[in-house]
Amino acid sequence: MRAILQRVKRGAVSVDGQVVGAIGVGLVVLVGTTHDDAPAQAEALARKMANLRIFEDDAGKMNLSALDVGAEVLVISQFTLYADCRRGRRPSFTQAARPEVAEPLIEHFVRALQAEGISRVATGVFGAHMLVEIHNDGPVTIILDTADDGRKTKAG
């Protein structure tokens, strides 16, 4: 799984002109899945994200986690995180998981965030055309990829 985390003052997502998810201070997370991702990757990503120290303490240092500051999280599924642009001018999305695989994994990721202690998790609508509003704070943008942590192919 891949995620782009953006520390925000606020974020929202709309579908057909209607706000379907909104948060205050916290993280907007764009998340994508690939073919061999499993619930273990969703759980590892949620654990890493909830505990990543990217919020400022009283001294202005990034020393606090989303859990420490009571951050809210807006999760947006985004298959384009697995775009392959190495050849030609049109990206290939063959590395992105098909919707029937990706949607349950995104849902599992949301539940895993809640299990980690993130009390407010909002989402977009899987597969919909969404308008995402991100008020990036800092800006702070972090990329996480479960393939980078050595657990990619290990489900347990």
Annotated active-site residue 55? The verdict is no
In Å, how far are 3, 38, 39, 58, 133 from 33, measured between CA atoms? 9, 9, 11, 36, 22
Q: How far apart are CA 58 and CA 36, in angstroms?
A: 41
Q: How far apart are CA 29 and CA 156, in angstroms?
A: 24
Beta bridge partner(s), residue 26: 8, 72
CB neighbour burial string for 103-122, b if at least 16 within 10 angstroms, e if fewer:
eebbebbbebbeebebeebb
Where are the alpha helices (H) located in the chain, listed in sequence order? 39-51, 66-69, 99-116
Catalytic residue among 79, 109, 123, 146: 79
Catalytic residue among 33, 78, 123, 146: 78
Annotated active-site residue 78? The verdict is yes
Catalytic residues: 78-80
